[in-house]
């Protein structure tokens, strides 16, 4: 009897160990990302675009993000350093000249070897279909030159020492975030989208500032293409809970953690497919700009162009379908209500349309195969319908 019990105990630990080590999902943090957001904090006084908001973020977030407060205490004297000026300059240039936000910095930072290592782990070139070939090359050069300076800043100011001093906080944040995530959600996503990636990695970023209102933070999606053709995808997550007592780290909210994680990973499945059909979406561009949709989506969700509007709808559709595959009807319902309240008015039609995809997987092997059909939902709309739906939501908000 004792030997049988011992056998099952050993089997249990073997299986547990195996599942843990074969999982494609993990939570960590990245020194390149954190060093960049430290440089952003130092650069606020020198910004031209959004300076008021950047200064507000520092004042607000330093009261409930311990890492931001500690960074200011230790490195605040560097507000007039070279990296502070350079960080302000690259963000202003990207925004004012190319219409690009700081989210584009994540991919190159992850493609570079993690500091203090030098050089690039993977090749990097910026590419966006709204820019010309020359403009994409200009942005690539700007970013590469900046990261070389950021690496020098890391070495000169011994930023690695800061992460060692705060190792316990980062480990606590990783553990706190890990507790919120549903088991096997990456398998559910791969089932829905019909493809998968090598790794799914959440990178907590206690240094990233985003004013916390109603337990909402900021997530940024990124992916890195490896030399052998495999791809790792990332979510970089700001805190979404105020840290107001010891033992908490800013990530103790299950709904927000699950929403952000599935959402940001979803972009790696959706973006590449939607951007293939830029010309096909010209009709919706006209609807987006002539109705009230552009104004409202820009103001409430930061969605200022028609391609992004389509992408953000389809990513949210993927979140809901992932929850349903996991038989988490409560989460699916909550996501539907949450996104509709935030003016994603095409979701009900998209949910109806996606039934065709789910019922015909032999024909539509991947989500990308079905994207042209989903785009029709947007193209076949009209200004009257769009404005009517927007007004309905305004009244119930």
**Interval 84-98: pLDDT, tens:** 999 999 999 999 999
341 within some domain: yes
Assess if residue 86 is contained within a domain: yes
The residue segments making up the domain with residue 296 are 278-397
CA 41 to CA 72: how far, in whole Å?
A: 8
Where a domain ends, among 163, 197, 225?
Answer: 163
pLDDT in tens, 128-182: 988 999 999 999 999 999 999 999 999 999 999 999 999 999 999 999 999 999 8
Rounded to an integer, what distance in angstroms lies between the CA atom of residue 395 and that of residue 228? 52
pTM: 0.89
Residue 63 backbone phi and psi in degrees, to 5 = -80, -20
- From 129, 163, 197, give the residue that closes a domain: 163
Q: Which residues contact 44 (CB under 8 A, 6 or more apart)?
A: 51, 54, 55, 57, 58, 88
- Asked whether 78 and 157 are in contact (CB, 8 A), the reply is yes
Q: What is the DSSP string of 220-280?
A: EEEEEE-TTS-EEEEEEE---S---STT--S---HHHHHHHHHHHHHHHHHHHHHGGGTGG
Stretch 233-238: mean pLDDT: 97
- Asked if residue 184 belongs to a domain, the reply is no
Evaluate whether residue 257 is within a structural domain: no
Tell me, yes or no, whether 158 and 34 share the same domain: yes
Q: How many CB atoms lie within 10 A of CB 255?
A: 14
For the segment 172-206, what is each residue's pLDDT rounded down to a tens digit? 999 999 999 988 999 999 999 999 999 999 999 99
- State the Cα–Cα distance between residues 109 and 128, nearest whole angstrom: 17
Spatial strand order of the sheet with 219-225 comes to 25-28, 199-204, 231-237, 219-225
Give the length of the chain: 397
For 231, phi then psi, to 5°, come to -135, 135
Determine the Cα–Cα distance for residues 107 and 156; give it in Å rounded to an integer: 24
Helix, strand, coil percentages (3-state) for the chain, rounded to 5, are: 65, 5, 30
Does any domain span residue 206? no
Which of residues 163, 186, 202 is at a domain's end?
163
Q: Report pLDDT for 10.
A: 37
159 falls within a domain? yes
Whether 272 is covered by a domain: the verdict is no
**What is the DSSP secondary structure assignment for residue 120, as one 8-state letter?**
B
How many domains does the chain divide into?
2
pLDDT tens-place string over residues 276-309: 998 889 999 999 999 999 999 999 999 999 999 9
User: Residue ranges of the alpha helices (H) in 157-234?
Assistant: 160-165, 167-178, 185-193
Q: Is residue 305, in this structure, part of any structural domain at all?
A: yes
**At 112, is the secondary structure helix, strand, or coil?**
strand
């Amino acid at each position: 009897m004792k030997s049988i019990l011992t056998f099952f105990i050993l089997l249990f630990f073997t299986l547990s160990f195996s599942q843990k080590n074969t999982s494609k999902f993990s939570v960590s943090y990245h020194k390149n990302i954190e060093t960049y957001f430290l440089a952003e904090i130092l650069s606020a006084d020198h910004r031209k675009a959004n300076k008021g908001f950047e200064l507000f973020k520092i004042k607000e977030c330093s009261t409930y993000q311990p890492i931001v407060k500690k960074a200011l205490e230790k490195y605040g004297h560097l507000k007039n350093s070279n990296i502070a000026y350079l960080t302000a300059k690259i963000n202003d240039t990207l925004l004012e000249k190319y219409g690009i936000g700081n989210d584009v910095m994540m991919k190159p930072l992850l493609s570079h070897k993690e500091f203090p290592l030098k050089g690039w782990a993977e090749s990097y070139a910026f590419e966006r279909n709204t820019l010309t070939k020359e403009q994409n090359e200009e942005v690539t050069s700007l970013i590469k030159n900046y990261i070389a300076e950021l690496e020098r800043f890391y070495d000169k100011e011994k930023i690695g020492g800061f992460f060692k001093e705060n190792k316990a906080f980062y480990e606590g944040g990783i553990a706190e975030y890990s507790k919120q995530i549903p088991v096997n959600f990456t398998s559910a996503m791969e089932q829905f989208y019909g493809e998968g990636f090598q790794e799914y990695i959440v990178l907590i970023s206690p240094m990233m500032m985003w004013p916390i209102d109603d337990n909402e933070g900021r997530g940024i999606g990124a992916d890195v293409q490896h030399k052998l053709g495999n791809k790792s995808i990332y979510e970089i997550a700001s805190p979404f809970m105020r840290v107001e007592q010891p033992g908490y780290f800013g990530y103790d909210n299950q709904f927000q953690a699950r929403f952000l994680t599935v959402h940001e990973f979803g972009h790696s499945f959706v973006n590449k497919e939607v951007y293939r059909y830029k010309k096909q979406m010209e009709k919706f561009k006209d609807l987006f700009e002539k109705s009230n949709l552009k104004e409202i989506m820009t103001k409430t969700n930061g969605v200022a162009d028609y391609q992004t509007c389509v992408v953000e709808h389809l990513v949210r559709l993927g979140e809901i379908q992932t929850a349903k595959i996991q038989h988490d009807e409560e989460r699916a319902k909550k996501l539907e209500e949450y996104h509709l309240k935030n003016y994603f008015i095409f979701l009900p039609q998209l949910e109806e349309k996606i039934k065709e995809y789910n019922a015909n997987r032999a024909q539509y092997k991947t989500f990308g195969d079905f994207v042209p059909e989903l785009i029709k939902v947007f193209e076949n709309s009209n200004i009257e319908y769009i404005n009517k739906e927007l007004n309905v939501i305004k009244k119930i908000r």
